[in-house]
Amino acid sequence: MILTIAHETVYRYDLPMRGVVQTHRLTPAKCESQSALSWDVTVTANEGARVVPGGGFRDGAGDWVQGCTIIGPATEVVVSVTGQVETRDMAGVLRGHRERIPPEAYLRPTPATVSDVAIHELAQTARAGLDAPLEHAHALARAVQAAVVYTAGVTEAHTTAAETLALGEGVCQDHAHVLIAAARCLDMPARYVSGYLQASEEGSPHEASHAWVEIWVQGLGWVGFDASNGVCTDDRYVRLGSGRDAREAAPIRGIARGPGSEHLDVTVAVELVQQ
Amino acid sequence: MGVVVRGGAWRFATPRKSVTDSEGSRGDAVVKRADFFNEMFEQGAVRWPYKGLQGWMGEMPDEFRSLKQAEAEELFRRIGITFAVYGEGGDPERLMPFDMFPRVFAQDEWRRLERGVIQRAKALNAFLADVYARGEIVRAGLVPRDLVYRNEAYEAAVVGFTPPRGVFSHIVGVDLVRTGPDEFFVLEDNCRTPSGVSYMLENREIMMRLFPGLFRENRIAPVDGYSEELRRTLASVAPRKCERDPKIVILTPGAYNSAYYEHSFLANLMGVELVEGQDLFVEGEFVWMRTTEGPRRVDVIYRRIDDAFIDPLCFRPDSMLGVPGLMDVYRSGGVTLASAPGAGVADDKAIYCFVPDMVRFYLGEEPILQNVPTWQCARADDLKYVLENLGELVVKEVHGSGGYGMLVGPKSTREQVENFRKRIEENPGNYIAQPTLALSTCPTFVGEGVAPRHVDLRPYCLVGDRVTLVPGGLTRVAMTEGSLVVNSSQGGGVKDTWVLSE
Amino acid sequence: MLSRTAANLYWLARYMERAETAARLLEVGERMSLIPSTGGSGYRNEWVPLLQANGSHEGFLAKYRDPVQRNVESFMFFDRDNPGSVAACVAAARENARIVRTALTSQVSDALNTAYQELMTLERTERSDLPLTRLTEWTLRCCALVRGAIDATQLRNDGYDFLNIGYSIERADNSARLMDVKYFVLLPRVDFVGSGLDNYQWTTLLRALSAHRAFHWAYGGEVTAAKIAHFLILNRQSPRSLLTSVQAVNDHLDSLARAYGTPTRAQTEARALLAGLAELTIDEVFDEGLHEFLTRFIGEVSALGAAVYDVYLSGDMR
């Protein structure tokens, strides 16, 4: 299908900031399941502030990373992304994606994805009686979906996998963290993927700015699992970047220098152009 | 680094050798009666590199020696060569104990060491370039995948990046011990930011001031070219986008770091700025330094800050020491970091065992310097041997450091050995074992005379457009009789290290 | 030069000057406390106005309450929690110096290190063995040694300018504050103005500024408030006068602008301040009110300090 994406992130500062440094993973991955027909990332700032594009490079995970700096006094920074992407359903399998980081490197936990006894138990229970790694991955995704009810507003950006599972509620970021931690319990490399999801008609919970998990399945490679929606990724998904957790895979990471505090507004619209 | 050795009778002692040094072992030293290689005296005769010191030593009355020692300490204090120890009360600025008796290498001994160290530095860099690219050595099955890719020090953020000239570790410190005239072993490699080079330089300065005569009588190769060679090396790895004479800086965690003196010393010698993270910022495609004349672009950063702290945007978000956005500039070719983030995977204890294989694999040469034989308990045969000989061996945790989680067989009680045996059996993969080495000794001023004390050696190899080693290094000496622990935190001292130029 | 290095040099100088002022204030206080006041209530407590002039009265009250000499000594000399105490200033100056060791000559480093070592000895000494004069004399000697080492050995480069800008800005501020002690002392009884006591207090102030003899050389005759105010505000020969201090800030800012080839806002502000002072007569000062004049001046100096920070020390200048 062809999807149109409009994604705007607005940073507002209550006091002028002296400078802002950002790193963007806002470019659709190059792989067989998707190709960008047009894509545009624009950064603007308030009058008096100056936007200076930074260096860009393709990182070891195959994502395009673009640096960006804003010279203050900055009170407002707007990052807008617009474009069209043609997608194909590859049943979740990531093909044709050039990357260098070996899967084993994703077996090291981050603070957000450390597993605890409960996550271990969830993983072992899910796997019981199953042989094939792919079945294990599916079982894990199902188990996480069952254990963590989709609820907005109960968790925060820093909620860890263990906290989420104990709480039993969370959003896509939390599902992803639990699934990554659980997969690692079975020695399966797993990573966090950020991107977009086209709204479906069934009314299943989702957000347009979305996150899911890729699990390394021996013989198949990386396979995308969306535990929030209980599916493998398909042609409704647009993949941006990946990392070991939400922080590493964030489409925008930034630090502002100055006395003010930050207020963030994100709007995302993903629309189907044609089937 | 804890060095453990079989102890022995002193082959040499002055008639007035003090008895104030207790025989009791300190730290994790093991002292049993056995033979050590004494670098000055061999079967009662003076080995020739030390011939020039024989008369000097004999003609030094105690009063003169005390005078000189006091003069040396005064110089160290005045120059300000101290290392900081916080949290123990008193003045945090301590002097490193300096022993005036030099350690000497003959030219041919040094040549071999030099070739060995350079070979090792090349192999370590080739390994780093490889494991952050195609991983040929892993594919070839020479180094286990998990040991590299699941290693704490393996840094995904540099995968796929080739730093200028392919160099990841620009300053390689190789810790060596000697056990015989021609026997050297590498204890460990330091590929991140090996420290101590300021002592190598200052020890020489002070010896030249105290005993100028010695330097006239002996032809001692100079070491003071190090700072210029370091500057040249760093300039040779300027980033891709640098089209001018590269601007070099040293990045320090700050004045409270224990090695701050060394940072400012090197900056001063090289004539470059010593900066903290707050002095640098990223704008556009480059890194800039805040100066009184406005921003100045920086091209090469010799950083003395750990990977985790250099960029809060990429690594630890709570780091106040680093520069946000630095990694983006680095990877897009706007700045060079020395050493590269992730260089630590090459000096890991578990990886250490494979360095001789790296030399063969990448350079097609036989290793000149030997590793300390190491048994890996993960291997069944090794495990069997280790368990059978536990009382004679030193056992270390693969990821342990600072002497924790370590068994020193000859020094432990039967109970301790048996307890450790259980731990090894539970998780063999977590342990390696090494024999106790008989570290060489060098004459050292103690109490009221001269007595042999155990020493090690850290030469500093520079890797840029070429690979070089100044003729010398840091000799650390265990000042306590019988002790094999040369760490400054445990009463170790330093010596000037001579390489005779003929 | 790194902005942070410049800031370290600048603050090193400011702290040393501030330490000196704290010691001089203690001296003024002691002398003033030795004379009976004419109000009939016995000895007036001169320590409170001193703390007020120094801007640390509230901080003092929070910790010590009773403004007796011993407490004030503790607070203004030994108390490291009081950022204006001699001990805190000497420690801070030495810490700044340690960070920029390579930008200082060994003579300057030595002088600061020695001062710090001696301070620690004083801190370990029984207070009963430490008369106030010993403390103040020690401080003045240390400050003179550091300043002398700077003048005699530092290269005349931008670092030297930042040191001197720090010294001069702090001195301008501190001289004004010292003069203002008079205001706080006299505030309750305006009818003292011109009395013998009034003149005595002015003389004490001169002594505290080590300017007693210099004043007599320069002016001779009777000590009057007008002469003293002129001496401390407008006399170009007086090393502590406001005009001399502001002139020094100007000179060193000009020197920086020349060296860097860039005129700056700090230079403009400093010139305006200097011009204002140079055109002033002492009658105008008294017309405005000495206290009001000094308060305004202290504010202007503070603004100049902020401009120096923005332009050179923040590293944000473009």
Residue owning tokens 């001195």: C171
Output the domain CATH number for residue A46.
Answer: 2.60.40.2250
**Cβ contacts of A58 on chain B, cutoff 8 Å:** 160
Nearest Cβ partner for C2 among B78, B254, B291: B291
Nearest to B257 by CA among B231, B234, B277: B277
pLDDT over threshold 80, residue B32: no
CA distance A109 to chain B (A): 10
Note the pLDDT of residue A187.
Answer: 94
B210 and B185 in contact (C-beta within 8 Å)?
Answer: no
pLDDT over threshold 70, residue C209: yes
**Interchain pair B156, A65: CB under 8 A:** no
pLDDT (tens digit per residue) in B458-495? 999 999 999 999 999 999 998 888 777 777 666 788 99
Note the pLDDT of residue C149.
Answer: 96
**Ramachandran region of residue C265, left (φ > 0), alpha (ψ -120 to 50) or beta?**
alpha
Note the pLDDT of residue C39.
Answer: 45
- Are A243 and A126 in a shared domain? yes
- Are A12 and A96 in a shared domain? no
The string of DSSP codes covering C3-44 is: HHHHHHHHHHHHHHHHHHHHHHHHHHHHHHHTS--TTSSSS-
**Interchain pair C4, B80: CB under 8 A:** no
pLDDT (tens digit per residue) in A61-119? 999 999 999 998 999 999 999 999 999 999 999 999 999 999 999 999 999 999 999 99
pLDDT (tens digit per residue) in C220-254? 777 777 888 888 899 998 888 999 999 999 999 99
Find the mean pLDDT for residues A224-247: 93
Enumerate the domain spans of chain B.
Answer: 1-149+170-222+357-372+446-502, 375-435
CA atoms of C82 and C76, how far apart (whole Å): 7
Buried b (16+ CB within 10 A) or exposed e, B460-476: bbbbbeebbbbbbbbbb
Find the mean pLDDT for residues B331-360: 94
Find the mean pLDDT for residues B337-342: 95
Helix ranges (DSSP H) in B95-247 = 107-131, 136-139, 145-149, 197-210, 212-217, 226-235
Note the pLDDT of residue B429.
Answer: 81
CA distance C6 to chain B (A): 7
CA–CA distances in Å: residue A191 to residues A162, A241, B148: 16, 10, 19
pLDDT over threshold 80, residue B398: no
CA atoms of A166 and A155, how far apart (whole Å): 12
Mutate to test the interface with A, among B147, B283, B290, B329 (most CBs of A within 10 A): B283
CA–CA distances in Å: residue B129 to residues A105, B102, B169, B352: 16, 38, 10, 16
Burial environment of residue C251 by CB neighbours within 10 A (0 to 12, 13 to 18, 19 or more):
middle
- Which stretch of DSSP H or E encloses residue B412? none
Helix C196-208 × helix C158-186 angle, to 10°: 160
pLDDT over threshold 70, residue B359: yes
Structure tokens at A53: 């594009």
Number of folded domains that form chain A: 2
**Interchain pair C106, B78: CB under 8 A:** yes
CA atoms of B140 and A179, how far apart (whole Å): 33
Structure tokens at B381: 């045969």
CA atoms of C304 and C297, how far apart (whole Å): 11
Nearest to B176 by CA among B370, B20, B413, B325: B370
C256 to chain B, any CB pair closer than 8 A? The answer is yes
pLDDT over threshold 90, residue A188: yes
- Are A173 and A245 in a shared domain? yes
- Sheet containing strand B294-298, edge to edge, reads B280-283, B286-291, B294-298
pLDDT over threshold 60, residue A205: no
Is the dihedral angle over the CA atoms B19, B20, B22, B28 positive or is it negative?
negative
Q: Which of A54-63, B430-439, C145-154, C267-276 has the lowest mean pLDDT?
A: B430-439
Structure tokens at A173: 């970021």
**Cβ contacts of B135 on chain A, cutoff 8 Å:** 102
CA–CA distances in Å: residue B123 to residues B129, B133, B141, B410, B471: 10, 15, 17, 34, 20
**Interchain pair A253, B133: CB under 8 A:** no
Beta strands in A25-125 (DSSP E): 34-45, 50-58, 64-87
CA atoms of C256 and C172, how far apart (whole Å): 20
- Are A150 and A167 in a shared domain? yes
CA atoms of B155 and A137, how far apart (whole Å): 26
Q: How far apart are the first and last CA of chain C?
A: 15
Tell me which residues of chain C, numbers 19 to 48, contact chain B at a CB-CB cutoff of 8 Å. none
pLDDT over threshold 50, residue A198: yes
At residue A194 the predicted structure's pLDDT band, cuts being 50, 70 and 90, is very high
pLDDT (tens digit per residue) in A24-50? 999 999 999 999 999 999 999 999 999
pLDDT over threshold 60, residue B419: yes
pLDDT over threshold 90, residue B119: yes
CA distance A13 to chain B (A): 18
- Are A260 and A244 in a shared domain? no
Note the pLDDT of residue B460.
Answer: 97
Structure tokens at A48: 């008096």
Residue of B nearest to C116 (CA): B91
Structure tokens at A182: 């659980």
Mean residue pLDDT of chain C comes to: 87
Find the mean pLDDT for residues C120-125: 91
- Are A75 and A110 in a shared domain? no
pLDDT (tens digit per residue) in B144-169? 999 899 988 999 999 999 999 999 99
At the top level of CATH, the class of B375-435 is alpha beta
**Cβ contacts of B399 on chain A, cutoff 8 Å:** none
Q: Which of A140-149, B355-364, B384-393, C8-17 has the lowest mean pLDDT?
A: B384-393
CA atoms of B374 and B387, how far apart (whole Å): 14
- Are A18 and A94 in a shared domain? no
Residues 6+ apart with CB under 8 A from B144: B138
CA atoms of C307 and C304, how far apart (whole Å): 5
Structure tokens at B59: 């003609």
A1 to chain B, any CB pair closer than 8 A? The answer is no
Find the mean pLDDT for residues C176-188: 70
Which residue range is the domain that position A187 belongs to?
Answer: 90-249
Tell me which residues of chain A, numbers 95 to 134, contact chain B at a CB-CB cutoff of 8 Å. 99-102, 104-105, 107-108
